[in-house]
Structure 1
Amino acid sequence: MYDLPPDLDRLRTLETWLTLTLDRVRQQIKDVEQRQQQPEPEPPPAPPRRPRTPDWGITQAGIGTPTTQIHRGDCWAAGKTLQPITTERARAELGDGAKPCDACRPDRPLGMPPPQP
């Protein structure tokens, strides 16, 4: 097995080292057992989800928007005032004279005729 030192001084030193090491191992065992007995902390709550991008939106006439406009939901030109609307309402608004956005052209996928100049 292992060759041990032949003299008493080195044997006593080895004994001391082994005793200290055994004490550290036993303390670590106690610490791990205590952690295992404690309930696991709950994970932090998930961040809130972004609202779903609407398929269609409307911007009302006002400052910066001379007429009511219909947009696709992901249109970059819609600004922050885009109000989500249904496909049926988008078609109805376009039929009633709302202007389709020149950037996203919602009239095309909605099957509406192009606006007359």
Structure 2
Amino acid sequence: MFDDLPDDVPRLETLRTWHAMWVARIDAKLAQARQREAEQARAAAAREAERPAWLLDYGLNRDREPAAVHVGDCRMAGGRSKGIDADTARQALAGGVRACTLCRPDTELGMLEQ
């Protein structure tokens, strides 16, 4: 099956050494890649844990009144958002702050929009 290999011991040992070096290099690179993927997974999990469940988005006006309530991962939430808990989100919605029409936090919280 492997008739293309040489027959003498010195050349076979040379080939074995050469391939052992390559296997060692591949193993080292594989270990680095696995470590990098594990670190990325840990970082993603940490970011996910830090993400609030609900967001209160503030308007551009000088008073910075709340403008909308969002689910924590809503793409429509702007940079002026602040993480809040579910009770605060319910109070804001009950107090007249509008629910985002994309993520529908009022539905997620089991409330009907007033």
> The TM-score by the shorter chain falls in which range?
0.5 to 0.7
Within a 5 Å distance, the mapping from 1:1-117 to structure 2 comes to: 18=7, 21-31=8-18, 41=28, 42-44=31-33, 45-46=36-37, 47=40, 48-49=43-44, 51-52=47-48, 54-62=52-60, 67-115=66-114
CA change 1:34–1:109 in 2 (3 A) is closer
SS at match of 2:32: coil
Distance in 1 separating the partners of 2:107 and 2:24: 64
Query: Which one has the bigger helix percentage?
Result: 2
Letter in 1 for 2:10: D
- On the 8 A contact 2:59/2:80 being kept in 1, the answer is no
The total of aligned residue pairs comes to 95
RMSD: 3.5
Unaligned residue ranges in structure 2 (runs of 5+): 1-5
Q: Give me the TM-score of the superposition, normalised by structure 2.
A: 0.55
Distance in 2 separating the partners of 1:102 and 1:36: 56
User: Percent of aligned pairs with the same residue?
Assistant: 23
CA change 1:69–1:31 in 2 (3 A) is same
Unaligned residue ranges in structure 1 (runs of 5+): 1-16
Q: Give me the TM-score of the superposition, normalised by structure 1.
A: 0.54
Quote the offset at 1:83 in angstroms: 2.7
Distance in 2 separating the partners of 1:59 and 1:32: 60
Distance in 1 separating the partners of 2:18 and 2:101: 67
Quote the offset at 1:25 in angstroms: 0.4
Query: Highest Rg: 1 or 2?
Result: 1
Quote the offset at 1:71 in angstroms: 1.0
